[in-house]
Protein backbone atom coordinates (compact mmCIF):
# COMPACT_ATOMS: atom_id res chain seq x y z
CA UNK A 1 0.00 0.00 0.00
CA UNK A 2 1.30 3.43 -0.95
CA UNK A 3 2.30 5.59 1.98
CA UNK A 4 2.47 8.80 -0.08
CA UNK A 5 0.03 9.49 -2.89
CA UNK A 6 -0.05 12.66 -4.98
CA UNK A 7 -2.87 13.00 -7.45
CA UNK A 8 -2.86 16.03 -9.72
CA UNK A 9 -1.15 18.16 -7.07
CA UNK A 10 -0.78 21.79 -8.11
CA UNK A 11 0.76 24.55 -6.05
CA UNK A 12 0.42 28.17 -7.07
CA UNK A 13 2.25 30.85 -5.08
CA UNK A 14 -0.33 33.60 -5.14
CA UNK A 15 2.01 36.49 -4.41
CA UNK A 16 4.51 35.43 -7.05
CA UNK A 17 1.63 34.40 -9.38
CA UNK A 18 3.68 31.38 -10.31
CA UNK A 19 2.78 27.69 -10.44
CA UNK A 20 5.55 25.82 -8.64
CA UNK A 21 3.92 22.42 -9.20
CA UNK A 22 1.51 21.46 -11.99
CA UNK A 23 -0.63 18.31 -11.99
CA UNK A 24 1.99 16.28 -10.16
CA UNK A 25 0.98 12.65 -9.68
CA UNK A 26 2.88 9.71 -8.23
CA UNK A 27 2.68 7.13 -5.45
CA UNK A 28 5.46 5.79 -3.25
CA UNK A 29 5.65 2.63 -1.17
CA UNK A 30 7.23 1.92 2.24
CA UNK A 31 10.82 0.76 1.84
CA UNK A 32 11.46 2.97 -1.18
CA UNK A 33 14.05 5.71 -1.36
CA UNK A 34 12.57 8.16 -3.82
CA UNK A 35 14.99 10.71 -5.23
CA UNK A 36 13.71 14.08 -6.42
CA UNK A 37 15.95 15.82 -8.91
CA UNK A 38 15.53 18.78 -11.21
CA UNK A 39 16.88 22.23 -11.93
CA UNK A 40 16.44 25.16 -9.52
CA UNK A 41 12.77 26.14 -9.33
CA UNK A 42 11.60 22.72 -10.58
CA UNK A 43 9.36 22.29 -7.52
CA UNK A 44 11.35 19.77 -5.42
CA UNK A 45 11.29 21.76 -2.17
CA UNK A 46 7.69 22.81 -2.81
CA UNK A 47 6.66 19.16 -3.14
CA UNK A 48 8.41 18.25 0.11
CA UNK A 49 6.89 21.30 1.83
CA UNK A 50 3.42 20.22 0.73
CA UNK A 51 3.91 16.67 1.98
CA UNK A 52 5.30 17.99 5.28
CA UNK A 53 2.26 20.24 5.73
CA UNK A 54 4.32 23.43 5.58
CA UNK A 55 2.48 24.58 2.45
CA UNK A 56 -1.13 24.23 1.37
CA UNK A 57 -2.04 22.41 -1.83
CA UNK A 58 -3.76 24.68 -4.39
CA UNK A 59 -5.43 21.83 -6.32
CA UNK A 60 -5.32 18.05 -6.34
CA UNK A 61 -4.77 15.69 -3.46
CA UNK A 62 -1.69 14.82 -1.45
CA UNK A 63 -2.02 12.00 1.07
CA UNK A 64 0.60 10.98 3.64
CA UNK A 65 0.11 7.73 5.54
CA UNK A 66 -3.62 7.74 4.73
CA UNK A 67 -4.20 11.32 5.84
CA UNK A 68 -4.55 14.49 3.82
CA UNK A 69 -1.22 16.35 3.81
CA UNK A 70 -1.23 19.21 6.28
CA UNK A 71 -3.48 17.57 8.83
CA UNK A 72 -2.07 16.85 12.27
CA UNK A 73 -1.99 13.10 11.60
CA UNK A 74 -0.12 13.56 8.32
CA UNK A 75 2.39 15.91 9.94
CA UNK A 76 2.99 13.38 12.70
CA UNK A 77 3.69 10.72 10.10
CA UNK A 78 6.35 12.75 8.30
CA UNK A 79 9.77 13.72 9.60
CA UNK A 80 10.99 16.72 7.65
CA UNK A 81 14.48 18.13 7.20
CA UNK A 82 13.98 21.52 5.57
CA UNK A 83 16.45 23.44 3.44
CA UNK A 84 17.93 25.56 4.98
CA UNK A 85 17.84 23.52 8.20
CA UNK A 86 16.16 25.15 11.20
CA UNK A 87 16.85 24.79 14.92
CA UNK A 88 16.52 27.35 17.74
CA UNK A 89 20.00 28.88 18.16
CA UNK A 90 19.55 29.09 21.95
CA UNK A 91 19.33 25.29 22.35
CA UNK A 92 22.04 22.68 22.09
CA UNK A 93 21.65 19.92 19.53
CA UNK A 94 20.87 17.44 22.29
CA UNK A 95 18.21 19.70 23.84
CA UNK A 96 16.60 20.21 20.43
CA UNK A 97 16.43 16.46 19.77
CA UNK A 98 15.15 15.78 23.29
CA UNK A 99 12.39 18.36 22.81
CA UNK A 100 11.31 16.81 19.51
CA UNK A 101 11.54 13.27 20.91
CA UNK A 102 9.31 14.22 23.87
CA UNK A 103 6.45 14.78 21.44
CA UNK A 104 6.77 11.34 19.86
CA UNK A 105 7.80 9.14 22.78
CA UNK A 106 5.38 7.51 25.17
CA UNK A 107 7.88 7.28 28.02
CA UNK A 108 11.20 8.83 29.07
CA UNK A 109 12.95 5.57 28.13
CA UNK A 110 11.53 5.68 24.60
CA UNK A 111 12.51 9.34 24.35
CA UNK A 112 16.08 8.49 25.26
CA UNK A 113 16.16 5.70 22.67
CA UNK A 114 14.88 8.05 19.96
CA UNK A 115 17.50 10.66 20.78
CA UNK A 116 20.25 8.02 20.73
CA UNK A 117 19.12 6.81 17.30
CA UNK A 118 19.09 10.38 15.97
CA UNK A 119 22.57 11.09 17.35
CA UNK A 120 23.84 7.90 15.76
CA UNK A 121 22.16 8.60 12.40
CA UNK A 122 23.70 12.05 12.04
CA UNK A 123 26.96 11.22 13.89
CA UNK A 124 26.30 14.11 16.26
CA UNK A 125 28.30 12.91 19.28
CA UNK A 126 31.12 15.44 18.89
CA UNK A 127 28.99 18.58 18.86
CA UNK A 128 25.54 17.67 20.24
CA UNK A 129 26.29 19.47 23.51
CA UNK A 130 27.04 22.77 21.73
CA UNK A 131 24.41 25.40 20.95
CA UNK A 132 23.08 25.15 17.40
CA UNK A 133 23.75 28.86 16.83
CA UNK A 134 27.46 27.98 16.62
CA UNK A 135 27.02 25.09 14.14
CA UNK A 136 28.53 25.02 10.65
CA UNK A 137 26.36 24.26 7.64
CA UNK A 138 27.37 20.60 7.66
CA UNK A 139 26.64 20.25 11.39
CA UNK A 140 23.18 21.79 10.89
CA UNK A 141 22.49 19.36 8.04
CA UNK A 142 23.42 16.42 10.23
CA UNK A 143 21.30 17.74 13.09
CA UNK A 144 18.38 18.25 10.68
CA UNK A 145 18.71 14.63 9.58
CA UNK A 146 18.64 13.49 13.22
CA UNK A 147 15.67 15.76 13.96
CA UNK A 148 13.77 14.37 10.96
CA UNK A 149 14.45 10.84 12.25
CA UNK A 150 13.12 11.73 15.71
CA UNK A 151 9.88 13.22 14.37
CA UNK A 152 9.29 10.67 11.59
CA UNK A 153 6.55 8.10 11.68
CA UNK A 154 6.53 6.28 8.35
CA UNK A 155 7.99 8.94 6.04
CA UNK A 156 11.23 10.94 6.02
CA UNK A 157 11.33 14.03 3.81
CA UNK A 158 14.93 15.13 3.29
CA UNK A 159 15.59 18.36 1.43
CA UNK A 160 19.24 18.68 0.35
CA UNK A 161 20.15 17.18 3.70
CA UNK A 162 23.32 15.36 2.61
CA UNK A 163 24.90 18.43 0.98
CA UNK A 164 27.71 20.06 2.91
CA UNK A 165 28.52 16.90 4.84
CA UNK A 166 32.07 15.61 4.46
CA UNK A 167 32.39 12.60 2.11
CA UNK A 168 33.35 10.04 4.74
CA UNK A 169 30.51 10.92 7.10
CA UNK A 170 28.16 11.17 4.14
CA UNK A 171 29.05 7.64 3.07
CA UNK A 172 28.21 6.24 6.52
CA UNK A 173 25.05 8.35 6.78
CA UNK A 174 23.88 7.07 3.37
CA UNK A 175 24.21 3.53 4.70
CA UNK A 176 22.09 4.36 7.74
CA UNK A 177 19.42 6.10 5.64
CA UNK A 178 19.26 3.03 3.41
CA UNK A 179 18.87 0.89 6.56
CA UNK A 180 15.93 3.06 7.64
CA UNK A 181 14.26 2.37 4.28
CA UNK A 182 14.92 -1.35 4.62
CA UNK A 183 13.19 -1.10 7.99
CA UNK A 184 9.97 -0.11 6.20
CA UNK A 185 10.11 3.67 6.01
CA UNK A 186 9.64 5.72 2.88
CA UNK A 187 12.49 8.17 2.31
CA UNK A 188 11.97 11.05 -0.13
CA UNK A 189 15.25 12.79 -0.86
CA UNK A 190 15.51 16.01 -2.88
CA UNK A 191 19.00 16.85 -4.03
CA UNK A 192 21.09 18.54 -6.70
CA UNK A 193 23.85 16.01 -6.00
CA UNK A 194 22.99 13.47 -8.68
CA UNK A 195 25.75 11.11 -7.53
CA UNK A 196 24.22 10.85 -4.06
CA UNK A 197 20.75 10.25 -5.50
CA UNK A 198 22.09 7.57 -7.89
CA UNK A 199 23.83 5.77 -5.03
CA UNK A 200 20.98 6.01 -2.54
CA UNK A 201 17.65 6.13 -4.36
CA UNK A 202 15.74 3.11 -5.56
CA UNK A 203 13.62 5.30 -7.80
CA UNK A 204 13.96 8.83 -9.14
CA UNK A 205 11.39 11.46 -10.06
CA UNK A 206 12.72 14.12 -12.39
CA UNK A 207 10.87 17.42 -12.00
CA UNK A 208 11.07 20.12 -14.65
CA UNK A 209 9.16 23.39 -14.43
CA UNK A 210 6.81 21.92 -11.81
CA UNK A 211 5.92 18.78 -13.75
CA UNK A 212 7.02 15.17 -13.37
CA UNK A 213 9.17 14.81 -16.49
CA UNK A 214 10.46 11.30 -15.77
CA UNK A 215 9.92 8.53 -13.26
CA UNK A 216 12.68 5.91 -13.42
CA UNK A 217 13.90 3.13 -11.19
CA UNK A 218 17.61 3.15 -10.41
CA UNK A 219 17.82 -0.49 -11.54
CA UNK A 220 16.56 0.51 -15.01
CA UNK A 221 18.98 3.40 -15.00
CA UNK A 222 22.09 1.30 -14.53
CA UNK A 223 20.95 -1.44 -16.89
CA UNK A 224 20.85 1.04 -19.78
CA UNK A 225 24.04 2.08 -21.58
CA UNK A 226 25.18 5.18 -23.40
CA UNK A 227 27.92 5.71 -25.97
CA UNK A 228 29.79 8.99 -25.69
CA UNK A 229 31.32 10.34 -28.89
CA UNK A 230 34.03 12.99 -28.67
CA UNK A 231 33.98 15.01 -31.87
CA UNK A 232 37.17 16.58 -33.20
CA UNK A 233 37.56 19.36 -35.71
CA UNK A 234 34.24 20.25 -37.26
CA UNK A 235 32.63 21.34 -33.92
CA UNK A 236 29.08 22.65 -33.54
CA UNK A 237 27.82 21.61 -36.97
CA UNK A 238 28.89 18.01 -36.40
CA UNK A 239 27.22 17.86 -33.00
CA UNK A 240 24.03 19.30 -34.47
CA UNK A 241 24.00 16.67 -37.23
CA UNK A 242 24.41 13.88 -34.67
CA UNK A 243 21.63 15.28 -32.47
CA UNK A 244 19.35 15.40 -35.53
CA UNK A 245 20.24 11.82 -36.42
CA UNK A 246 19.68 10.48 -32.88
CA UNK A 247 16.70 12.28 -31.29
CA UNK A 248 17.37 10.85 -27.82
CA UNK A 249 21.03 11.97 -27.85
CA UNK A 250 22.23 14.82 -25.64
CA UNK A 251 25.13 17.23 -25.94
CA UNK A 252 28.25 16.69 -23.79
CA UNK A 253 31.30 18.88 -23.20
CA UNK A 254 33.18 17.23 -26.12
CA UNK A 255 30.42 15.89 -28.35
CA UNK A 256 27.27 13.86 -27.82
CA UNK A 257 25.97 11.01 -25.65
CA UNK A 258 23.72 8.55 -27.44
CA UNK A 259 21.58 6.13 -25.39
CA UNK A 260 21.86 2.59 -26.69
CA UNK A 261 18.14 1.96 -26.84
CA UNK A 262 16.31 -0.88 -28.56
CA UNK A 263 18.55 -2.39 -31.27
CA UNK A 264 20.95 0.52 -31.49
CA UNK A 265 24.60 -0.52 -31.00
CA UNK A 266 27.95 1.25 -30.77
CA UNK A 267 28.72 0.10 -34.30
CA UNK A 268 25.53 1.73 -35.60
CA UNK A 269 26.47 5.03 -33.98
CA UNK A 270 30.04 4.95 -35.29
CA UNK A 271 28.78 4.04 -38.76
CA UNK A 272 26.43 7.01 -38.63
CA UNK A 273 29.38 9.25 -37.76
CA UNK A 274 31.15 7.95 -40.85
CA UNK A 275 28.09 8.60 -43.03
CA UNK A 276 27.81 12.14 -41.67
CA UNK A 277 31.56 12.70 -42.22
CA UNK A 278 32.16 13.43 -38.57
CA UNK A 279 35.68 12.94 -37.21
CA UNK A 280 35.45 10.88 -34.02
CA UNK A 281 38.25 11.71 -31.56
CA UNK A 282 37.28 9.10 -29.00
CA UNK A 283 34.34 6.97 -27.97
CA UNK A 284 33.42 5.09 -24.81
CA UNK A 285 30.49 3.12 -23.55
CA UNK A 286 29.22 3.76 -20.01
CA UNK A 287 26.12 3.13 -17.97
CA UNK A 288 23.37 5.71 -18.32
CA UNK A 289 23.57 8.38 -15.60
CA UNK A 290 20.88 10.40 -13.93
CA UNK A 291 22.32 13.46 -15.61
CA UNK A 292 21.37 11.98 -19.03
CA UNK A 293 17.74 11.64 -17.88
CA UNK A 294 17.73 15.12 -16.37
CA UNK A 295 19.18 16.76 -19.48
CA UNK A 296 16.79 14.88 -21.77
CA UNK A 297 13.79 15.67 -19.55
CA UNK A 298 14.68 19.33 -19.45
CA UNK A 299 14.92 19.40 -23.24
CA UNK A 300 18.34 21.03 -22.95
CA UNK A 301 20.02 19.23 -25.86
CA UNK B 1 5.28 10.16 33.61
CA UNK B 2 2.27 10.24 31.26
CA UNK B 3 2.62 11.21 27.60
CA UNK B 4 0.81 14.52 28.23
CA UNK B 5 3.11 15.25 31.15
CA UNK B 6 6.14 14.48 29.00
CA UNK B 7 4.98 16.89 26.28
CA UNK B 8 4.05 19.69 28.69
CA UNK B 9 7.37 19.36 30.47
CA UNK B 10 9.19 19.49 27.12
CA UNK B 11 7.33 22.65 26.09
CA UNK B 12 7.98 24.27 29.45
CA UNK B 13 11.70 23.51 29.35
CA UNK B 14 11.85 24.67 25.72
CA UNK B 15 10.17 27.96 26.71
CA UNK B 16 12.47 28.46 29.69
CA UNK B 17 15.67 27.71 27.74
CA UNK B 18 14.95 30.03 24.80
CA UNK B 19 14.11 32.74 27.34
CA UNK B 20 17.02 32.52 29.74
CA UNK B 21 19.58 32.20 26.94
CA UNK B 22 18.50 35.36 25.12
CA UNK B 23 20.43 38.54 25.81
CA UNK B 24 17.37 40.82 25.60
CA UNK B 25 15.83 38.97 28.53
CA UNK B 26 19.01 39.36 30.58
CA UNK B 27 19.02 43.09 29.84
CA UNK B 28 15.36 43.35 30.86
CA UNK B 29 16.28 41.52 34.06
CA UNK B 30 18.94 44.13 34.80
CA UNK B 31 16.42 46.93 34.25
CA UNK B 32 13.92 45.19 36.51
CA UNK B 33 16.59 44.82 39.18
CA UNK B 34 17.30 48.57 38.97
CA UNK B 35 13.61 49.38 39.37
CA UNK B 36 13.34 47.08 42.39
CA UNK B 37 16.45 48.67 43.92
CA UNK B 38 14.90 52.11 43.46
CA UNK B 39 11.76 50.88 45.18
CA UNK B 40 13.75 49.52 48.12
CA UNK B 41 15.79 52.72 48.44
CA UNK B 42 12.68 54.88 48.25
CA UNK B 43 10.96 52.79 50.90
CA UNK B 44 13.98 53.04 53.22
CA UNK B 45 13.88 56.82 52.91
CA UNK B 46 10.12 56.89 53.48
CA UNK B 47 9.45 58.32 50.01
CA UNK B 48 6.19 58.20 48.08
CA UNK B 49 7.22 55.72 45.41
CA UNK B 50 4.84 52.79 45.75
CA UNK B 51 6.96 49.66 46.20
CA UNK B 52 4.18 47.30 45.05
CA UNK B 53 4.03 49.23 41.78
CA UNK B 54 7.78 48.86 41.39
CA UNK B 55 7.44 45.09 41.79
CA UNK B 56 4.58 44.88 39.30
CA UNK B 57 6.44 47.04 36.78
CA UNK B 58 9.66 45.04 37.15
CA UNK B 59 7.82 41.71 36.81
CA UNK B 60 5.89 43.03 33.82
CA UNK B 61 9.01 44.20 32.01
CA UNK B 62 10.82 40.88 32.41
CA UNK B 63 7.67 38.96 31.41
CA UNK B 64 7.02 41.11 28.32
CA UNK B 65 10.53 40.66 26.95
CA UNK B 66 10.72 36.98 27.91
CA UNK B 67 7.31 36.09 26.46
CA UNK B 68 8.30 37.46 23.07
CA UNK B 69 10.86 34.65 22.60
CA UNK B 70 9.08 31.25 22.84
CA UNK B 71 6.94 31.90 19.75
CA UNK B 72 9.32 34.20 17.89
CA UNK B 73 9.01 33.71 14.12
CA UNK B 74 11.60 31.25 12.83
CA UNK B 75 12.78 28.04 14.40
CA UNK B 76 10.60 28.27 17.53
CA UNK B 77 7.34 28.57 15.56
CA UNK B 78 8.59 25.95 13.09
CA UNK B 79 9.23 23.61 16.02
CA UNK B 80 5.65 24.07 17.21
CA UNK B 81 4.39 23.06 13.77
CA UNK B 82 6.69 20.06 13.36
CA UNK B 83 5.70 18.43 16.64
CA UNK B 84 2.00 18.64 15.70
CA UNK B 85 0.86 18.74 19.33
CA UNK B 86 -2.66 19.53 20.54
CA UNK B 87 -3.61 23.18 19.91
CA UNK B 88 -3.33 24.32 23.53
CA UNK B 89 -0.20 22.40 24.54
CA UNK B 90 2.41 24.63 22.91
CA UNK B 91 1.12 28.01 24.19
CA UNK B 92 0.37 26.64 27.66
CA UNK B 93 3.73 24.90 28.01
CA UNK B 94 5.81 27.77 26.70
CA UNK B 95 3.94 30.36 28.82
CA UNK B 96 4.64 28.13 31.83
CA UNK B 97 8.32 28.23 30.81
CA UNK B 98 8.27 32.04 30.85
CA UNK B 99 6.55 32.05 34.24
CA UNK B 100 9.12 29.57 35.57
CA UNK B 101 11.61 32.42 35.19
CA UNK B 102 9.40 35.27 36.42
CA UNK B 103 7.52 33.70 39.35
CA UNK B 104 10.62 32.92 41.47
CA UNK B 105 11.71 36.56 41.04
CA UNK B 106 8.32 37.74 42.31
CA UNK B 107 8.24 35.15 45.11
CA UNK B 108 11.65 36.24 46.41
CA UNK B 109 11.15 39.98 45.91
CA UNK B 110 7.79 40.31 47.66
CA UNK B 111 8.94 39.38 51.19
CA UNK B 112 12.29 41.09 50.59
CA UNK B 113 10.44 44.33 49.91
CA UNK B 114 8.11 43.72 52.86
CA UNK B 115 5.00 43.97 50.68
CA UNK B 116 1.52 43.02 51.83
CA UNK B 117 -1.84 44.14 50.55
CA UNK B 118 -4.24 45.59 53.13
CA UNK B 119 -7.46 44.38 51.49
CA UNK B 120 -6.86 42.37 48.29
CA UNK B 121 -5.00 39.16 47.46
CA UNK B 122 -1.35 38.55 48.39
CA UNK B 123 0.88 40.92 46.38
CA UNK B 124 2.94 38.08 44.92
CA UNK B 125 -0.21 36.32 43.68
CA UNK B 126 -1.60 39.47 42.05
CA UNK B 127 1.75 40.21 40.43
CA UNK B 128 1.96 36.61 39.18
CA UNK B 129 -1.52 36.75 37.63
CA UNK B 130 -0.63 40.04 35.96
CA UNK B 131 2.63 38.59 34.63
CA UNK B 132 0.75 35.59 33.21
CA UNK B 133 -1.86 37.83 31.56
CA UNK B 134 0.70 40.15 29.99
CA UNK B 135 2.85 37.17 29.01
CA UNK B 136 -0.08 35.48 27.25
CA UNK B 137 -0.81 38.66 25.31
CA UNK B 138 2.82 39.08 24.19
CA UNK B 139 3.04 35.37 23.35
CA UNK B 140 0.03 35.73 21.05
CA UNK B 141 1.42 38.86 19.40
CA UNK B 142 4.94 37.61 18.66
CA UNK B 143 4.16 35.14 15.81
CA UNK B 144 2.02 37.83 14.17
CA UNK B 145 4.00 41.08 14.57
CA UNK B 146 7.45 39.63 15.31
CA UNK B 147 9.35 39.16 18.56
CA UNK B 148 10.86 42.65 18.76
CA UNK B 149 7.57 44.47 18.14
CA UNK B 150 5.71 42.24 20.61
CA UNK B 151 8.39 42.77 23.26
CA UNK B 152 8.27 46.54 22.71
CA UNK B 153 4.48 46.66 23.04
CA UNK B 154 4.60 44.52 26.18
CA UNK B 155 7.43 46.60 27.61
CA UNK B 156 5.47 49.83 27.04
CA UNK B 157 2.36 48.28 28.59
CA UNK B 158 4.31 47.30 31.72
CA UNK B 159 6.16 50.61 31.89
CA UNK B 160 3.32 53.05 31.20
CA UNK B 161 0.33 50.96 32.24
CA UNK B 162 0.48 51.97 35.89
CA UNK B 163 -1.26 55.21 34.95
CA UNK B 164 -5.03 54.82 35.56
CA UNK B 165 -7.51 55.41 32.67
CA UNK B 166 -8.84 58.63 34.25
CA UNK B 167 -5.35 60.16 34.17
CA UNK B 168 -4.89 59.03 30.56
CA UNK B 169 -8.20 60.71 29.69
CA UNK B 170 -7.04 63.98 31.36
CA UNK B 171 -3.64 63.87 29.63
CA UNK B 172 -5.16 63.39 26.18
CA UNK B 173 -8.05 65.82 26.63
CA UNK B 174 -6.82 68.18 23.87
CA UNK B 175 -6.78 65.32 21.32
CA UNK B 176 -10.25 63.84 21.62
CA UNK B 177 -9.78 61.23 18.83
CA UNK B 178 -6.71 59.71 20.51
CA UNK B 179 -8.26 60.16 23.92
CA UNK B 180 -11.21 57.86 23.20
CA UNK B 181 -9.06 55.15 21.61
CA UNK B 182 -6.46 55.31 24.40
CA UNK B 183 -9.06 55.13 27.17
CA UNK B 184 -10.76 52.14 25.53
CA UNK B 185 -7.40 50.38 25.19
CA UNK B 186 -6.47 51.23 28.78
CA UNK B 187 -9.75 49.76 29.99
CA UNK B 188 -9.37 46.57 27.96
CA UNK B 189 -5.69 45.59 28.16
CA UNK B 190 -4.06 43.77 31.10
CA UNK B 191 -2.17 46.77 32.53
CA UNK B 192 -0.51 47.36 35.92
CA UNK B 193 -3.15 49.89 37.07
CA UNK B 194 -5.62 47.01 37.21
CA UNK B 195 -3.38 45.11 39.66
CA UNK B 196 -3.19 48.17 41.91
CA UNK B 197 -7.00 48.36 41.98
CA UNK B 198 -7.21 44.61 42.64
CA UNK B 199 -4.79 44.96 45.53
CA UNK B 200 -7.00 47.79 46.74
CA UNK B 201 -9.91 45.36 47.09
CA UNK B 202 -11.72 45.21 43.70
CA UNK B 203 -11.78 41.49 42.76
CA UNK B 204 -13.32 42.21 39.33
CA UNK B 205 -9.93 43.36 38.09
CA UNK B 206 -8.44 40.00 39.05
CA UNK B 207 -11.12 38.25 37.01
CA UNK B 208 -10.27 40.42 33.97
CA UNK B 209 -6.59 39.50 34.30
CA UNK B 210 -7.44 35.79 34.58
CA UNK B 211 -9.61 36.10 31.49
CA UNK B 212 -6.63 37.59 29.63
CA UNK B 213 -4.54 34.49 30.36
CA UNK B 214 -7.14 32.32 28.61
CA UNK B 215 -7.69 34.85 25.82
CA UNK B 216 -3.97 35.34 25.16
CA UNK B 217 -3.29 31.59 25.20
CA UNK B 218 -6.16 30.98 22.79
CA UNK B 219 -4.98 33.76 20.49
CA UNK B 220 -1.45 32.29 20.51
CA UNK B 221 -2.85 28.88 19.53
CA UNK B 222 -4.86 30.53 16.75
CA UNK B 223 -1.79 32.41 15.51
CA UNK B 224 0.14 29.13 15.33
CA UNK B 225 -2.71 27.40 13.51
CA UNK B 226 -3.05 30.23 10.99
CA UNK B 227 0.54 29.87 9.88
CA UNK B 228 -0.26 26.47 8.38
CA UNK B 229 -3.94 26.76 7.58
CA UNK B 230 -5.10 24.64 4.69
CA UNK B 231 -6.92 26.63 2.08
CA UNK B 232 -8.45 25.34 -1.13
CA UNK B 233 -7.64 21.72 -0.40
CA UNK B 234 -10.38 19.38 -1.60
CA UNK B 235 -11.34 16.49 0.69
CA UNK B 236 -9.66 13.13 0.17
CA UNK B 237 -12.01 10.62 -1.43
CA UNK B 238 -12.05 6.86 -1.10
CA UNK B 239 -10.52 6.61 2.37
Instruction: Give residues 18 to 47 of B whose Cβ lies within 8 Å of A.
Output: 18, 21-22
Let me know if residue A147 belongs to a domain: yes
Spatial CA neighbour of A38 closest among A215, A181, A163: A215
Q: Is residue B234 in a domain? A: no
H/E stretch holding A182: helix A167-182
Is A56's CB within 8 Å of B229's CB?
Answer: yes
Chain A touched by B142 (CB under 8 Å): no
Whether A6 maps to a domain, the answer reads: no
In the predicted structure, residue B50 carries a pLDDT above the cut 70: no
Q: Please tell me whether residues A245 and A101 are part of one structural domain.
A: no
**Angle between helix A108-122 and A167-182 (nearest 10):** 130
Q: Give the residue from A197, A220, A243 where a domain finishes.
A: A220
Q: Is residue B98 part of a domain?
A: yes
Considering only residues A195 and A16, tell me which one the structure prediction assigns the higher pLDDT. A195
Rg (CA), chain A: 22
Mutate to test the interface with B, among A103, A107, A110 (most CBs of B within 10 A): A103
Q: Is B129 domain-assigned? A: yes
Residue A2 inside a domain? The answer is no
- Confidence at residue B48, expressed as pLDDT on a 0 to 100 scale: 54
Please indicate, yes or no, if residue B232 is contained in any of the structural domains.
no
Helices A137-151, B75-83: inter-axial angle, 10-degree rounding: 20
- Of A60, A87, A95, nearest to B75 by CB-CB distance is A87
- Residue A246 inside a domain? The answer is yes
Domain that holds residue B21: 3-226
Work out the pLDDT band at B230, boundaries 50, 70, 90: very low
Across the interface, of A60, A76, A99, the residue whose CB is closest to B10 is: A99
Are A209 and A268 in the same domain?
A: no
SS3 for chain B is CCHHHHHHHHHHHHHHHHHHCCHHHHHHHHHHHHHHHHHHHHHHCCCCCCHHHHHHHHHHHHHHHHHCCCCCCCHHHHHHHHHCCCCCHHHHHHHHHHHHHHHHHHHHHHHHHCCCCCCCCCHHHHHHHHHHHHHHHHHHHHHHHCHHHHHHHHHHHHHHCCCCHHHHHHHCCCCHHHHHHHHHHHHHCCCHHHHHHHHCCCHHHHHHHHHHHHHHHHHHHHHHHHCCCCCCCCCCCCC
For residue A248, what is the domain's CATH number?
A: 3.30.70
Q: A89 phi and psi, to 5 degrees?
A: -65, -15
Cβ–Cβ below 8 Å for B231 and A108: no
- Residue A65 covered by a domain: no
Cα dihedral sign, A60-A14-B80-A101: positive
Q: Residue B63: inside a domain, yes or no?
A: yes
Structure confidence by residue, pLDDT tens digits, B18-35: 999 999 999 999 999 999
Condensed to tens digits (0 to 9), the pLDDT of residues A97-144 reads 999 999 999 999 999 999 999 999 999 999 999 999 999 999 999 999
Let me know whether A216 and A113 are in one domain. Answer: yes
Statement: residue B231 has pLDDT above 50: no
Distance (Å, whole) CA B190 – CA A6: 48
Angle at the Cα of B130 from the Cα atoms of B125 and B135, rounded to 5 degrees: 125
Query: Are A92 and A235 in a shared domain?
Result: no
pLDDT of residue A301: 53
Same-domain status, A236 and A206: no
Same domain, A40 and A111: yes
- Transcribe A252-270 into DSSP letters: -SSEEEEE--TT--HHHHH
The rounded distance, in Å, linking the Cα atoms of A133 and A89 is: 4
Residue B237: pLDDT above 50?
no
* Paired strand residues for A21: A11
Contacts of B74 in chain A (CB under 8 A): 86, 88
A8 inside domain: no
Burial A262-273, CB ≥16 within 10 A → b, else e: eebeeeebeebb
3-state SS assignment for residue A289: coil
Closest CB from B3, B74, B82 relative to A80 = B82
Range of the domain at A102: 30-52+72-220
CATH code (residue A104): 3.40.50.300
| CA quadruple B53, B56, B57, B62: dihedral, nearest 10 | 160
The verdict on A205 and A84 lying in the same domain is yes
**Chain B residues with CB-CB distance to A89 below 8 A:** 75
The complex's ipTM?
Answer: 0.87
What does the pLDDT average to over A177-195?
Answer: 95
Q: Give the alpha-carbon dihedral of B22, B27, B32, B34, to 10 degrees.
A: 150
Domain end (from A220, A247, A275): A220
| Domain stop point among A189, A220, A251 | A220
* A66 in any annotated domain: no
The answer to whether position A116 is within a domain reads yes
- pLDDT bin (cut points 50, 70, 90) of residue B235 is very low
Domain tally, chain B: 1
At residue B234, does pLDDT exceed 90? Answer: no
Say if residue A210 is in the same domain as residue A244: no
Check whether residue A279 and residue A209 sit in a common domain: no
Same domain, A201 and A130: yes
In this structure, the answer to whether residues A231 and A197 fall within a common structural domain is no
Q: Say how far apart CA A222 and CA B179 lie, in whole Å.
A: 77
Whether residue B236 is contained in a domain is answered as: no
pTM listed for this prediction: 0.87
Q: How confident is the model at residue A277 (pLDDT cuts 50, 70, 90)?
A: confident
**pLDDT by residue (tens digit) across B119-178?**
778 889 999 999 999 999 999 999 999 999 999 999 999 999 999 999 999 999 998 888
- pLDDT band at residue B233 under the 50/70/90 scheme: very low
Domain count, chain A: 2
The whole-chain average pLDDT of chain B stands at 88
Amino acid sequence: MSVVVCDGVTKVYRRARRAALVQCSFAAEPGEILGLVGPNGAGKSTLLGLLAGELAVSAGTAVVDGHRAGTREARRAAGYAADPPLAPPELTGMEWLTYLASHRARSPRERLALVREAVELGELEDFASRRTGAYSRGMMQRLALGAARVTAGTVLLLDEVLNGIDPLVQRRVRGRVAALARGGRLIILASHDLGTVERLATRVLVLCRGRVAADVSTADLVSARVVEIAVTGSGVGAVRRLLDRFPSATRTETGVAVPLERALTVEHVLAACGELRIAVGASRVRYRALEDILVAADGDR
Amino acid sequence: MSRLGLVLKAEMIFGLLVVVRHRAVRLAGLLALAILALGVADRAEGGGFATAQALIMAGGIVTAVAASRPLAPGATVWAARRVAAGWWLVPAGRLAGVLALVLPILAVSTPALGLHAPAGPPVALAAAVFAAALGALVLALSPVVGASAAATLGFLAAFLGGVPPSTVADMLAPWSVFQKAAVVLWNVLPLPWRVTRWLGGSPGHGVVLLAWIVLGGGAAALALARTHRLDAVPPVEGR
